[in-house]
Amino acid sequence: MRNAQEFKPASWLDDRVGCCLPIWYCPFLTSILTSILTSETSVIHNMKTTRFFSVFLMVAVCLSGYAQKVITAQSPNGQVSVNVTLSDRIYYDVVSHNETLLKQSVIGMQLTDKTLGANPVLKKKSVRTVNETVKPVLPLKYSEVENNYTLLTLDMKGGYAVDFRLYNDGVAFRMRTSFPGEIEVMLENTVFQLADNCDLVLQQPGGFKTSCEESYSIVKSNEWKKEDRMSELPVLIMGKNQKILLSEFDLVSYPGLFLKGNADNSLTATQPRAPIEYEDQGDRSHRILKEADYIAKTSGTRTFPWRYMLITQEDGRLAENTMPMRLAQKCQIEDTSWIKPGQTCWDWLNGIPYGQDVTFKGGINLDTYKYFIDFASRNGVPYIIMDEGWALSTRDPYHTNPDINMPELLRYAKSKNVGVFVWLPWLTVEHNMGLFKQFEEWGIVGTKIDFMDRQDQWMIDFYDRVAKEAAKHHIMVDFHGAFHPSGLEYRYPNILTYEGVRGMEYNGNCTPNNSIWFPFLRNAVGPMDYTPGSMLCAHPEAHRGDRPICPGVGTKAYHMAVFVLFESNLQMLMDNPCRYDQWPDCRDFLTSVPVNWDETRVLAAKAGEYIVMAKRKGQKWFIGGITNDQPRELDVTLNVLPEGKNLQMTSFVDGVNADRMAMDYRQLKSSVTKGTKLHIKMVRNGGFAAVIE
């Protein structure tokens, strides 16, 4: 087999009229042509040879029609198209706004006994347009969205098919198979061949065992070599005129996709092989003893994950991405009324209260958790999370720490209308799947499950089993130590959020220079357990601290803003209640920020540098803006507001000394109307936050 870039179809051949392979693709005809062109008798001076050459060209074109077929489909507005070439493999080009972004990329899959996509023969082609309205159970960005796309289906001889969805803002494709029994997938022959060299924004782990918390790196597509670290998803492709957000969706009983470079502008699929022998390694990990030679053993009749590309000419559209919502399967939970997203207090980073009202010994005990519950109750925060230490042993979820008195704590929380989540290592969950039934009986509403750190098929199945079993017993789930959201959260919306991000737990290593990418990458593909809400703030060079006093990096206004910008169905208040009470204006703002939204609009953005975003819940708008380590002055227009209304805006801005003293901020009040121009000034590592009502 040739690699993707070796095959170059003739640009003058139009697929819509039934087209042909260029004559140099046919080896037999090429050999004849070569002998003619190298003949001692010049074609120019030999009329007979000239006639023969003309006939030869016509025959070549006709014969080559059997070797290739090119199929074109367009998005509903005609601005995005794919050209699928069926020759020795399945190739495709992606064109957006008259610019070729991907050229001769490859789709294929190697099974034990056959290669899907090798010498493909088309049985049937269908094209239809879909236009529907999608309303998610948990509206992370929008309460509803139009799902309008062109569906191109290519059914191939040999029991498989390829589906393309062409959206006005992107492309998604997947494979389908129709084989009896089970199949073994050895590897994917998936190649994303970029048409031009460009920067790639990547998270590059040292191997397949990763919590997906690496800082972003930027590499050039023609310099990313095979021996370099691979990348997990999502990946941001920074083209000159357009950007592509590349990720996957509908990941079911199949390993997650990683990508490798080839120093030639191509991104090649690589995936972890399926573990078949393993043993416990401590209380929160497996030691894999033996791997299969396949990446997945799975049903022979199924759909495989979508690989999708959000394409945009405006950076802000990355942060508004709704492709996951549009690709999602139907919710599998019939009654979702018990699934209630919201904010939660959290004790891990800043768990020791202090101050005049604290007359008890702080720690993992009943008095401390009651203190958290009281704060949550009086501020309308629906949950608290009890992190490691609530159980007597991390391996045993049924016997609790006696200092907590769990029955009394749960009784007290219920009396205050506060729900309780408890933390667990995933391995403890795996060995005790009955705990969900027990938790329901106790009155626990959710679990925070940690340290999965893998994306092989076995672990993807674990996520699925947890979602189903938890749903049976009305338990919500926060997947910490996890990879990016890939569709499970739509099938089972009791899965509220995932980590898979360098969040506040990294303390001084969680910097605005890295976090500025989150709206454009990680949060663009789904909910993100970042743990925001720091009340103590410092610039990177001045940051000091660790548990139980963990400041955040960035200004105070920055940390107010990320509570609006960063999206999670279980948004954590990472600081201690005593510190929120020291800044009641900040406390009242943070605890008023919704976690689900009716509308999301980016007002200004440049990927990796700054973003200002407005979000609406009902009649109220919130605004969050942050910058990297460079100061910004931006003018934005409030065109999102309703006509003819004078509204009150309460804003939090960087103080005059915030460029040196990150704690410096000002709360301001002003009147605004539709069309009001805001001048936003942010210092380095700074921000802007506001509510309009």
Active-site residue list: 450, 505
Pairing of strands 610-617, 620-627: antiparallel
CA neighbor of 692 nearest in space, from 639, 654, 655: 639
* In contact, 395 and 358? CB cutoff 8 Å: no
Provide the token pair at 156. 């191939």
Q: Which residues pair with 258 in a beta bridge?
A: 270
User: Among all chains, which residue has been given the structure tokens 């040739």?
Assistant: 2
Alpha-carbon separation of residue 137 from 148, 314, 493, 569 (angstroms)? 19, 28, 7, 11
Q: Specify the DSSP class assigned to residue 3.
A: -
- With H, G, I as helix, E, B as strand and everything else as coil, classify residue 261: strand
Half-sphere exposure of 61 (CA within 13 A, CB side): 10
- With H, G, I as helix, E, B as strand and everything else as coil, classify residue 659: coil
> Which class for 463: exposed (0-12), middle (13-18), buried (19 or more C-beta within 10 A)?
buried
- Residue 35 CB neighbour total at 10 angstroms: 9
Determine the residue type at 361.
Answer: K
Q: Specify the DSSP class assigned to residue 194.
A: B
* In contact, 654 and 681? CB cutoff 8 Å: yes
Distance (Å, rounded) from C-alpha 112 to C-alpha 469? Answer: 33
Determine the residue type at 579.
Answer: R
Alpha-carbon separation of residue 194 from 15, 447, 682 (angstroms)? 21, 42, 36
What stretches of 544-598 adopt beta strand conformation (E)?
Answer: 552-553, 570-573
